[in-house]
Amino acid sequence: MKERFHIYRLPVPDIPAGQGVFSLPLGLDSDAPFSCRALSFVNADGGNAGNDAYTLVRFKGPNGMYRQAGAVPASQMAPSSVQSAWRRMYPETTWPANATIEVDIENTSGVTLSGMVVLFRGVKQYADSIDVPGSSVYPATYGSIPFDLPRYVTLQEVGTLDNIALNGPPDAAVALRGALFTYANSAATVGSSYRNLFCSIQDLNHKPYMNQDVEVDYLFGNTCPNMQLWFPQIWLPASGIVFYRFVRNDVGLGVLNMCLTWKGSKVFPK
Amino acid sequence: MTASANPSRRSATGYQRAVVDNHRAQWVMDPTPRGFEDVPWLFAFPLPDQGTPSVYPISHFPLAFDFDADFLLRGMWGMATSSSSNTGSSLAVRLYDAYGNRMSDDLVPFFSLVTPANGYNYGFSHYGIIWSLLSPAPVEPELFCPAGSAMQIDLGVLPGTPDGDSHGALLYLFGVKRYRGCAT
């Protein structure tokens, strides 16, 4: 079996005070089962999803039965006070290909809940016979050294940077384990910040590792350094390519000069 | 270093073909070989502070190790040594291992280099202030540095750095010295 890192993103509609949405569907892709190993709740666009103690959630497993005896405060399913925090789901929960995850969300606060996103993180599972770009192909014997690939990018307040290529070095493959997304130079971006900044990573065939663009703080770890580890690693062959893109909608927050440092190891066959 | 292998993948000549391995556990260090003793060790290297971006880049600044034992580098951390508000935010570096191999294909923002995964690290701070008791950024895999060898570091500044800014920093390298026999 081959595994491929994947994130599913489920935006939640605005929920008035004292109300809830039930069986909110998240349709999974048809190409492979999905094993969820972590989930998180995003406070998007400065919305009132911040007080997770008043946001109750529950979801159904692959057999259609709830995985929680009752709705659980989001703060107890995933840490709410730390950005980029993922709640481990152990043991993993596997949904078949083309399945639907149903999520209930209740707003017990006194204000409208807006801008919430639920993230499911795990792996897609493929048969060994299927070609899966990005799968690790370690040689039987090899040596490796740590290797970073920093990429500098300027992001306007609103817009999309699409089809950005990350080219692998010619001398060795790189096993990518994560990336740090940081301000490239705080002196040059004084007063700039971001709130609605998303990224999508795609393999050489432009097949994304997520169903929607994902908040950068949760995909990479935010500028308060907290890098997320990807499992499994994304394999960048020698002279290979990975694509990524940024989408931003931050009117009035200034131009960003950022550095996305891809972190991993060069792998040299022996 | 050998990946796990399925014997059924051996050819008739016994040559072991490449195997698909979805994951190699990170930060799992090889045990200390028999006949050796590993002693935790820390090297601290002050990085040159020229005070003006115009004198950068500085290439191949040496980070020399001791002669008494090999050093296995397993973690890094960094700290500012000046009071400039922009220190560290505009310093960029590139490391070379003890054999001259580059460890990045471009200059990396310094605090990105010394940032661990999944853990708070305000390691790169204003002068004299350590924001927290930090975990170093792991070096994955560990780097073997022979006794008496030296790593090297290129230093530069990021675009937009004001002239006259100070960029002094300390680079800490964590790991173990590997002594043959008994260390003491």
Eight-class DSSP state of B7: G
Q: Which pLDDT value is given to residue A80? A: 44
Nearest to B169 by CA among B123, B133, B118: B123
The answer to whether the CB of B80 falls within 8 A of the CB of A186 is no
- Average confidence (pLDDT) over A156-172: 95
CB contact under 8 A, A138 and B19: yes
For B101-149, strand residue ranges (E) read 108-109, 137-145
pLDDT digits (tens, 9 = 90+) for B114-131: 765 544 444 433 333 343
Q: How buried is residue B160: exposed, middle or buried, by Cβ count under 10 Å (0-12/13-18/19+)?
A: middle
pLDDT given for residue A59 in this prediction: 94
**Residues of B with Cβ-Cβ distance to A180 under 8 angstroms:** 112, 115
Average pLDDT, chain B: 72
Contact criterion met (CB < 8 Å) for B109 and A265 = no
For residue A51, pLDDT beyond 70: no
The nearest CA of chain A is from the CA of B4 a distance in Å of 7
What is the distance between the alpha carbons of residues B79 and B110, in angstroms, rounded to a whole number? 10
Most B CBs within 10 Å, among A239, A263, A267, to test the B interface: A263
**CB under 8 Å to A164, separation ≥6 — which residues?**
A151, A153, A243, A244, A245, A246
Q: Which of B17, B105, B113 to mutate to test the interface with A (most CBs of A within 10 A)?
A: B105
The DSSP element (H or E) to which A219 belongs, if any, is: helix A216-219
Task: Flag if A185 and B5 touch (Cβ within 8 Å).
Answer: no
Phi, psi for residue B178 in degrees, rounded to 5: -105, 110
- Angstrom distance (rounded) from CA A88 to CA A11: 20
| Dihedral (CA of A61, A82, A246, B77) sign | negative
Give the pLDDT score at B161: 65
Q: Identify the sign of the CA torsion B151, B62, A169, A230.
A: positive
The CA-atom distances, in angstroms, between B92 and each of B88, B118, B140 are: 8, 22, 20
- pLDDT tens profile B140-174: 788 999 999 999 999 887 766 665 565 678 899 98
Residue found by looking up tokens 């059924």 in the block? B8
Q: Is the pLDDT of residue A16 over 60?
A: yes
Residue A201 to residue B123: CA distance in whole angstroms: 28
Q: A150 is written with which tokens?
A: 């920093």
| Best CA proximity match to B136, nearest among B27, B1, B25 | B27
**Per-residue buried b or exposed e for A213-229, using 16+ beta carbons within 10 Å of the residue's own CB:** bbbbbbbbbbbebbbbe
Torsion of CA B85, B87, B90, B95, to 10 degrees: -170
- Which has the closest alpha carbon to A155: A115, A126, A198? A198
Residue A170, pLDDT score: 95
Distances (CA, A) of A137 to A76, A205, A232: 38, 18, 12
- ipTM of the complex in this document: 0.76
B117 contacts in A (CB within 8 Å)? 177-178, 221, 226-229, 263
Range of weakest confidence among A85-89, A175-179, A253-257, B58-62: A85-89
Torsion of CA A3, A165, A216, A255, to 10 degrees: 180
Chain A residues lying within 8 Å of B2, measured CB to CB:
140-141
Model pLDDT for residues A110-150, shown as the tens digit of each residue: 888 888 899 999 999 998 888 888 877 788 889 889 999 99
A54 vs B46 pLDDT, higher one: B46
Q: B26: which 2 tokens?
A: 């990170």
Task: Read off the pLDDT of each residue in A162-168 and give the average, rounded to a whole number.
Answer: 95
Calculate Rg over the CA atoms of chain A: 19
Q: Please report the pLDDT score of residue B10 as a whole number.
A: 42
Span A53-109, pLDDT tens digits: 788 999 999 999 998 888 888 877 765 434 446 777 878 899 999 999 999 999 988
pLDDT per residue over A210-248, tens digit each?
A: 999 998 888 886 543 456 678 788 999 999 999 999 999
What's the full length of chain B, in residues?
A: 184
Least confident interval from A228-232, B14-18, B87-91? B14-18
Structure tokens at B118: 């999944």
DSSP annotation string for B46-97: EEP--SSGGG--EEEEEEEPPSSSEEEEEEEEEEE-S--TTTTTSEEEEEE-
Nearest to B19 among A140, A150, A232 (CB): A140
Length of chain A: 270
What is the pLDDT averaged over residues B10-30? Answer: 49
